[in-house]
Homo-oligomer: A and B are copies of this chain.
């Protein structure tokens, strides 16, 4: 089970009633936070999330609204009696900025491990950090500075067929090994393979997070079949399209079209412009493009 919470839905600057965009992904008490704008630690608290559970922080890009909350959050993690290291992943070339930000933290009671990710190619990282059989993948986006989109992927065991196992005479104490992909030899010498007792594979759980970027075709390929697609939608007013192209952002409508192309199960819109005071105004229009669109609010949650 993956518990997901969108701690804020704003872009550019935090508002009195709208925190900056960030996604908390938790599995069995270990969490990753994607993006950490100013006030992230308060946003986490408002959503009743535990900062002590954060094992990794993943940053899309080094604009202040995605990273300026890092010093405060790291200090507060330290005050939560943390001693295990925290891994921070940033686009390549960001380490100097990161070091500058961290210079106001003084000494932290745990190690901060900094990792740079390639901004030219797609890749993977964070295997089994927040839970076994999980990993992150990343993809370069198209913003004004280097920016990465992320997917969190949790592989799931295939469906085990107990009736077939009964028929083959597999003892109960050998079944979990088979389910975990290991062949077993029975007392009578017969070898049973995992595929003999598996009725169906299961798709991984996939959560994709992409902001800030122009919409582009490969992005829907990256988000393909996501259970949850969290995507920026700066404005719902289509008159803003030219301005969005210039600033290398996208409209809510663009995100909905990507969701259609990617065939995702649900879309959460976020990263609203401070000038868009009522994102819900566009709900009907957007659901006409992609029915399972959620005009997210701060603290939006789901368990997958």
Task: State the A residues within 8 Å of B (CB).
Answer: 12-16, 37-39, 41-42, 45-46, 62-65, 67-69, 71-72, 75-76, 79, 96-97, 99-106, 145
User: Which of B14, B45, B67, B105 contacts A104 (CB under 8 A)?
Assistant: B67
User: Which of B41, B64, B100, B102 contacts A75 (CB under 8 A)?
Assistant: B64
- Per the bound structure, the CA–CA distance linking A37 and B103 in Å amounts to 15
- Per the bound structure, the CA–CA distance linking A42 and B37 in Å amounts to 13
A-B contact pairs, 19 of them (CB 8 A): A13-B41, A14-B39, A14-B72, A15-B42, A15-B45, A16-B42, A16-B45, A38-B68, A39-B42, A63-B104, A63-B106, A64-B71, A64-B75, A64-B105, A68-B68, A68-B104, A96-B103, A97-B100, A100-B102
- Taking the full assembly, how many copies of this chain does it contain? 2
* A37-B72, A64-B71 known, 8 other contacts, Cβ within 8 Å: A16-B42, A38-B38, A38-B69, A62-B104, A64-B104, A65-B72, A97-B103, A101-B101
A248 to chain B, nearest CB (A): 13
- With A39-B14, A100-B101 known as contacts, the answer to whether A72 contacts B64 (CB < 8 A) is yes
- With A39-B42, A41-B14, A72-B64 known as contacts, the answer to whether A103 contacts B100 (CB < 8 A) is yes
- Per the bound structure, the CA–CA distance linking A39 and B145 in Å amounts to 24
Q: Given the complex, which residues of B lie within 8 Å of A37, measured CB to CB?
A: 72
- Per the bound structure, the CA–CA distance linking A64 and B102 in Å amounts to 9
Q: Given the complex, which residues of B lie within 8 Å of A76, measured CB to CB?
A: 13
